[in-house]
Amino acid sequence: MTNQVLLVQTMVELADSLVDDFDVDELLNLLAGRCVDILDVTAAGLMLASPGGELRVVASSTEAMRVLELFEIQSEEGPCMDCLRSGRAVVSTDLDVGDGRWPLFSVRALAAGFRSADAVPLRLRGTVIGALNLFRAEAGGLHANDVTSAQALADIATIAILQHRVAREAKLLNEQLDHALNSRILIEQAKGVLAERGRLDMTQAFSKLRSYARGHNLTLLGVAADVVSGTITDL
């Protein structure tokens, strides 16, 4: 059964971390560890899909768990893979019934000492960004209350991860805007240099800059920087 006190405490801790700056990997490792304390499971791990669709193991409560999760990704079968594909929880699955659902994974998991496996999705509205995997040494899978608690923890983790991604994208965008503004200035400086050297107007100077870049298979910015620094003098 779910350890209610620790569950609430962990929820508060996770929510707190969202207010301040936080390290995503650290947060997810904390979550994986707490799942073992709170829920009736032997090991817990988190798998994330990158925006490009690539899967990686981001946190595991034990090394055996990590190895098994890596194997799942590699063999493309197992409870987490099903959960990621369907976007729905995969619950109470005994591994030794031999129904052939995950022939490769079951053998490995049983050898590592696990008898049942559950997985809940990290999902926000339609998007599945990963899965929280919960493995048990006993058969029978998770109690229904534990599944609900696991999904609540997974939901908070999802918000944390997405918030982190949004913050990172905002910074990237700001840097790109800053860079674009500076690039524009650089090009104007280079135009000025070329205009004076060749007695050109600014439109002609720009054409010259551009055709040099094309002719030498260089970027416009690269050529502008070299003109300004005096590296290119035959222009």
Both tokens assigned to 67? 């190895």
The reply on whether position 174 binds another protein by CB under 8 A is: yes
Nearer to another protein, 8 or 181 (CB): 181
Distance set, CA 18 to CA 27, 48, 114, 176 (Å)? 10, 19, 33, 26
| Phi/psi at 86 (5° precision) | -90, -25
Residue positions counted in the chain: 235
Q: Is 30 in the site for another protein (CB under 8 A)?
A: no
Residue 112: partners with Cβ closer than 8 Å, 6 or more residues away: 64, 67, 68
Query: Which residues 77-116 are close enough to bind another protein by CB under 8 A?
Result: none
DSSP 211-225: HHHHHTT--HHHHHH
Q: Is 178 in the site for another protein (CB under 8 A)?
A: yes
Residues 9-28 that bind another protein (CB under 8 A): 20-23
Select from 94, 108, 192, 210 the one that contacts another protein (CB under 8 A): 192
Residue 176 touching another protein (CB under 8 A): no
Which of 188, 203, 214, 222 contacts another protein by CB under 8 A?
188
User: How near is the Cβ of 227 to another protein at its closest, in Å?
Assistant: 8
1 binds another protein (CB under 8 A): no
Of 231, 217, 215, 221, which is closest to residue 191 (Cα–Cα)? 221
Of 5-13, 75-83, 128-136, 220-228, the window that binds another protein (rule: CB under 8 A) is 220-228
CA atoms within a 13 Å half-sphere pointing along the CA-CB vector of 202: 4
Strands 90-94 and 43-49: unpaired
Is residue 161 close enough to count as binding another protein by CB under 8 A? Answer: no
Which stretch in 91-99, 104-112, 152-160, 174-182 sits in contact with another protein by CB under 8 A? 174-182
**CB of residue 15 vs another protein: minimum separation in angstroms?**
17
Contacts with another protein by CB under 8 A lie at 20-23, 167, 170-171, 174-175, 177-179, 181-182, 184-197, 202, 224-225, 228-229
